[in-house]
Amino acid sequence: MIRLMCAFGLSFLLTALIGLAAIPLLRHIKAGQSIREIGPKWHMSKQGTPTMGGIIFITAVAATMLIFDLIGFGGVDYSGLFVLLFACAFGMIGFIDDYFKVVKKQNMGLTALQKFLLQMSVAAAFLALMRFFGMTTPNVYIPFINVTVPVIWAVYLFCALIYVVGFVNAVNLTDGVDGLVTGVTIPVAGFFALLSLAFSGQYFQAGGVPASYGIFAAALAGGLGGFLIYNFNPARVFMGDTGSLFLGGALCGLAFVCDSPLILIPVGLIYLIEMFSVILQVAYFKFSGGKRLFKMSPIHHHFEMSGWSEKKIFIVFSGITAVLCALTYLSVFGKYLT
């Protein structure tokens, strides 16, 4: 627990300090957010707010992992570095997308097809490496009912590929109001950090010594906590796709290294609701001849149009996620607590 707390604290401090220098720099190079014409009209006031801020907490998390490994304080394995590299690969896709939006002034950034192909490539490489190093099995653990279902490797890898890309984009869609994806992800990262203490298995050690992936999760929670100083409403910086795709990759990596990818469904329910609100909105619009199921999607915009403030959305969505993380932890891994 001391290691986790140190990782959290160091990452929080580094993010807060890096933000002091990075935000003015982003403003100087005119890395301002462009608000899409089809987005909420009341968000036009955010036009010009520095984006690509994900590099702030990404740098802090990476530095924390490096420092912990250099001093031999990084955990019992290298699963955390593996997840970091995977998350950074997705973050790079987001960085390229942000670059086109900010520098090239192309509001849409990468095309949907370009994003999809890049994400599929990264996910495929990640899953292939995990299988090569024996870091995952084709046995699907189902949370709460504690059932493990064996699956054919080919079927498992195909489904896992779609699952990763889908979840990464669900996290990306959640980044729509000030601080929302930051606040929702902090308890999820904390869940995985504590999981490294409670869960015993091939990549974990009992007795209170966290796996390297637990250090990464704690550093991620700390980095996001530091970033929230600047990202809370009214936001002084946005993480951009650089940050949101990094977060999606990080959470998928964390779930797969503990061989429990479906654990993301209960703890990441808010992300999935955001994604399915878009899918349902589009489907209903097409099949109803132009009618809308929600006032606007993703669903956080529906609540905005219903009179909710951005702060209220942040508090409610983050609070729901914290409760879900606590329930999942106690229900699934409570037997490991003493």
CA 125 – CA 109 distance, rounded (Å)? 24
Question: How many whole angstroms separate alpha carbon 7 and alpha carbon 218?
Answer: 6
Helices (H) and strands (E) in the chain, counts: 12, 2
The whole-chain average pLDDT of the chain stands at 86
Strands (E) in the chain, as ranges, are 139-142, 147-150
pLDDT at 147 over 90: no
Dihedral sign (CA 42, 44, 47, 52): positive
pLDDT band at 11 (very low <50, low <70, confident <90, very high): very high
Which of 37, 124, 63, 135 has its CA nearest to residue 89?
Answer: 124
Select from 210, 225, 257, 226 the least CA-distant residue to 4. 210
**DSSP string for 215-280:** HHHHHHHHHHHHHHHHHSSSPS---HHHHHHHHHHHHHHHHHHTT-GGGHHHHTHHHHHHHHHHHH
* pLDDT at residue 34 in the model: 61
Q: Give the count of beta carbons closer than 10 Å to the beta carbon of residue 173.
A: 22
From CA 127, how far away is CA 138, in angstroms rounded?
11
289 vs 252, higher pLDDT: 252
What's the average model confidence in pLDDT over 259-283? Answer: 94
222 token code pair = 């700390």
Model confidence at 320: pLDDT above 70? yes
Band (pLDDT 50/70/90 cuts) for residue 259 is confident
Whether residue 337 is predicted with pLDDT greater than 60 in this model: the reply is: no
Give the distance, in angstroms, between the CA of residue 206 and the centroid of all CA atoms in the same chain. Answer: 27
Bridge partners, residue 150, by sequence: 139
Given a contact cutoff of 8 angstroms between Cβ atoms, the answer to whether 182 and 28 are in contact is no
**Cβ-count burial 70-93 (b if 16+ within 10 Å, e if not):** eeeebbbbbbbbbbbebbbbbbbb
Calculate mean pLDDT across residues 156-164: 94
Residues in Cβ contact with 34 at an 8 Å cutoff, skipping those fewer than 6 apart: 47, 101, 102, 105, 107
Percent of the chain topping pLDDT 90: 57
Model-level pTM? 0.90
C-beta of residue 317 within 8 angstroms of C-beta of residue 324: no
Q: List the structure tokens of 102.
A: 């900010």
Residue 123 three-state SS: helix
pLDDT the model gives residue 196: 83
- pLDDT at position 208 over 70: no
- What percent of the chain has pLDDT above 70? 86
Q: Are 186 and 224 in contact (CB under 8 A)?
A: yes
* pLDDT beyond 90 at 47: no
Per-residue pLDDT band for 28 (boundaries 50, 70, 90) equals confident
What's the confidence (pLDDT) of residue 108? 65
For the ranges 15-29, 135-149, 315-329, which has the lowest average pLDDT? 135-149
pLDDT band, residue 333 (cuts 50/70/90):
low
Q: In this structure, what token pair is assigned to residue 96? A: 């390229």
Q: What phi, psi does 149 have (nearest 5°)? A: -110, 120
Cβ proximity of 107 and 36 under 8 Å: yes
Q: What is the pLDDT of residues 76-109, one digit of tens each?
A: 677 888 899 999 999 999 999 988 888 676 666 7
pLDDT value of position 68: 86
Q: What is the C-alpha to C-alpha distance for residues 134 and 132, in angstroms, rounded to an integer? A: 6
Greater pLDDT, 202 or 214 = 214
What's the mean pLDDT in 27-53?
A: 69
Residue 311 is which amino acid?
Answer: K
Element (H, E) at 23: helix 2-28
SS3 category, 284: helix
Q: So what's the pLDDT on residue 102?
A: 80
